Amino acid sequence: MGNTEGHAGPPDAQAQTVDVIVIGGGAAGLAAASMAATCGRSVVLLEKDREPGGSTSWSVGSVSATATPHQFRAGILDNPQDHWEDIQKFSAPHPHPDNPELGRILAEGSPDMFAWLLSAGIDFVGPMPEPPHRRPRMHNVLPNSRAFAYRLGKLCRKQGVRILTDTRADALILDQDRATGVRTSGVAGVQTWLARGGIVLAGGDYSASKELKTRFASPEAAMADPVNPLATGEGIRLGLEAGGEVLNGDYVRGPFLRFVPPARAGLLARLPAWRIVTRLMRWGYENLAPALLRPVMMKFLTTTLAPDAGLFREGSALVDRDGGLIEGARVNPHLAAARAPGGLGYIVMDQRIATQFRQWPHFISTAPGVAYAYLDDYRRTRGDIYFTAPTLEELARRLGMDPGRFVASVATHNAQLASDPRTASLQLTRAPFFSLGPAKAYVVFTNGGLRVSTRLEVLRPDGSIIPGLYAAGSNGQGGQLLEGHGHHLGWAFVSGRVAGRNAAMQSTR
Ligand SMILES: Cc1cc2nc3c(=O)[nH]c(=O)nc-3n(C[C@H](O)[C@H](O)[C@H](O)COP(=O)(O)OP(=O)(O)OC[C@H]3O[C@@H](n4cnc5c(N)ncnc54)[C@H](O)[C@@H]3O)c2cc1C
């Protein structure tokens, strides 16, 4: 029997052997590593970045789950069967097929998964309603989504998992058709790791891979920048090279317009998820008036927020970074911005719109912790993307745009609105004027995942198992849509735990 692998030569004599190898340190990888360690196996987790986190740390941090202590405290009686049925309601109108078999694993695994997150010291507020969920199930992490990697990284290390950061998995080693090891490169040079048990692919999605987006999705998706530039889909590539296949590869979340993140996260957003911080936040959430709470909660945000389409319905214009009008924003601001230079757009409002978007039901964006963020939240917390001026010319100057071009764009926008009696009253005429931007058309994430069994084994197109190889999270999405909020993270944690346990069970001494 000879060893083969995707890229490099045969494994070297220095190869190190463990029971389980996990590729990727996001939600799925950390869950897999922790579970394999709980089973008493030796585990190495390979993370190409400086620290674990991946898209998990970019996320809003909503996790949907049932039978949680939070639901119990709120007097909500809920169960996985109802959750599973409601997941089908989310996916029914969708043009892509779903995978209800894996959806059942998600729903049934959620109560234990949530209890495990709590036991690791991760705290949440909620649950919040989100129809067609029949009961509130959405829980939002405190203080922000970096808490997952912070707490689970600590837990894994305590359990003896070797977390190797700055270490990239480059190729799988295949012995006949069985995955037996991984070739890595990074700070420690080129290394070979062999697994007595299984190898778990948990390398995240391919929103940052032009090549995979071109192959599976669309030219628009390929063109648009990702939110997470490290989401290059290497786990998917490794799975394909081993003989796996991708399901729902063309289903991409985006391009979607989102405000660019601040150049540097504020002090509060950089605070680790210390218990004192999360307890204070939870206390504030449960006891303080929203007006006092919201400026603080907004400062903890690490994710990028999406401007609501209602802004454009109410008459806002979208201009490019040179002050030129971006056409079509009323119909689809996301695609319109995706075609603009750099995918960048600035939202322009007048006093009428600004007044509307200071309170419910007109919000600038949804935001974790405060549910909805209004114009004044942006004024207080995002001075870098909030602009106002008494005239359009002055606003253009503050935005660094040519005033002549900017004023002409607003005039064209107003003329377009005036040409239709239904929109004539929406023209931008009342001073002062406002702008929020830049917002950028990002691919938030891709939904194509490897075909997997209910044990999270990677499958070939004919349905046969690739022995030794498991996939979790985005890598093991397996044709699920995961519609609604909080199902992607839920799946990453649940599937990671299932894959970690099964990969561990493969290892005997
Ligand atoms: C802006 C944004 C908001 C979101 N909000 C939510 C939300 O609120 N709720 C929700 O449910 N979902 C949300 N999602 C989706 C969710 O974050 C992801 O689906 C989930 O985090 C995927 O977890 P993962 O472990 O599969 O991948 P990741 O968290 O991306 O982890 C993959 C890890 O693998 C590493 N890696 C990749 N290749 C290699 C390699 N070759 N070698 C070693 N390491 C490698 C990466 O560096 C990364 O750390 C959001 C996503 C984004 C971008």
pLDDT for 90-119, tens place per residue?
A: 999 999 999 999 999 999 999 999 999 999
Kindly indicate the confidence band of residue 2, based on its pLDDT and cuts at 50, 70 and 90. Answer: very low
Kindly indicate the confidence band of residue 254, based on its pLDDT and cuts at 50, 70 and 90. Answer: confident
Write out the E strands in 407-464.
433-443, 445-446, 449-450, 457-459
User: pLDDT (tens digit, 9 = 90+) per residue, 309-337?
Assistant: 899 999 999 999 999 999 999 988 988 99
Instruction: Using the atom order of ligand 1, give the atom closest to the CA of residue 487.
Output: 11
Which of these ranges, 5-9, 358-362, 469-473, has the smallest mean pLDDT?
Answer: 5-9
Q: How far is the CA of 264 from the centre of ligand 1 (A)?
A: 21
Q: Decide: 449 in ligand 1 pocket, CB within 6 A.
A: no
Q: Decide: 363 in ligand 1 pocket, CB within 6 A.
A: no
Predicted confidence at residue 5, as pLDDT, reads: 47
**Going from the N-terminus, what domains does the chain have, and what CATH number goes with each?**
3-204+232-253+446-505 (3.50.50.60), 257-443 (3.90.700.10)
CA distance from start to end of the chain? 21
- pLDDT > 90? residue 178: yes
Query: DSSP state, 260?
Result: P
Instruction: Using the atom order of ligand 1, give the atom closest to the CA of residue 488.
Output: 11
Predicted confidence at residue 216, as pLDDT, reads: 97
Pocket test for ligand 1, best of 45, 55, 301 (most atoms within 8 A of CB): 55
Mean pLDDT of 193-197: 97
- The DSSP H or E segment spanning 45 is strand 43-46
Q: Decide: 62 in ligand 1 pocket, CB within 6 A.
A: yes
- pLDDT > 90? residue 367: no
d(C-alpha 44, C-alpha 245), whole Å: 26
Q: Decide: 55 in ligand 1 pocket, CB within 6 A.
A: yes
Predicted confidence at residue 265, as pLDDT, reads: 67
Predicted confidence at residue 390, as pLDDT, reads: 98
Ligand 1, atom 31, residue with closest C-alpha: 26
Higher model confidence: residue 500 or residue 3? 500
User: pLDDT (tens digit, 9 = 90+) per residue, 201-234?
Assistant: 999 999 999 999 999 998 888 989 999 999 999 9
pTM of the model: 0.89
Q: Which amino acid is at 454?
A: T
What would the DSSP string read from start to end of 341-388?
GGGEEEEEE-HHHHHHTTSTT--SEEETTTEEE-HHHHHHH-TTTEEE
Q: Decide: 23 in ligand 1 pocket, CB within 6 A.
A: yes
Whether the Cβ atoms of residue 87 and residue 204 lie closer than 8 Å to each other: no
Q: How far is the CA of 460 from the centre of ligand 1 (A)?
A: 24
Average of per-residue pLDDT values in the chain:
92
d(C-alpha 318, C-alpha 485), whole Å: 27
Q: Decide: 60 in ligand 1 pocket, CB within 6 A.
A: yes
d(C-alpha 136, C-alpha 68), whole Å: 11
Mean pLDDT of 232-261: 95
Q: Which residue has the tokens 């039978």?
A: 67
Predicted confidence at residue 275, as pLDDT, reads: 82
Ligand 1, atom 3, residue with closest C-alpha: 59
User: pLDDT (tens digit, 9 = 90+) per residue, 120-130?
Assistant: 999 998 898 88
d(C-alpha 86, C-alpha 98), whole Å: 13
Higher model confidence: residue 280 or residue 251? 251
Whether the Cβ atoms of residue 222 and residue 214 lie closer than 8 Å to each other: yes
Please list, in sequence order, all residues whose beta carbon lies within 8 angstroms of the beta carbon of residue 69, skipping any fewer than 6 positions away: 115, 118
Ligand 1, atom 2, residue with closest C-alpha: 59
Ligand 1, atom 39, residue with closest C-alpha: 203
Kindly indicate the confidence band of residue 445, based on its pLDDT and cuts at 50, 70 and 90. Answer: very high
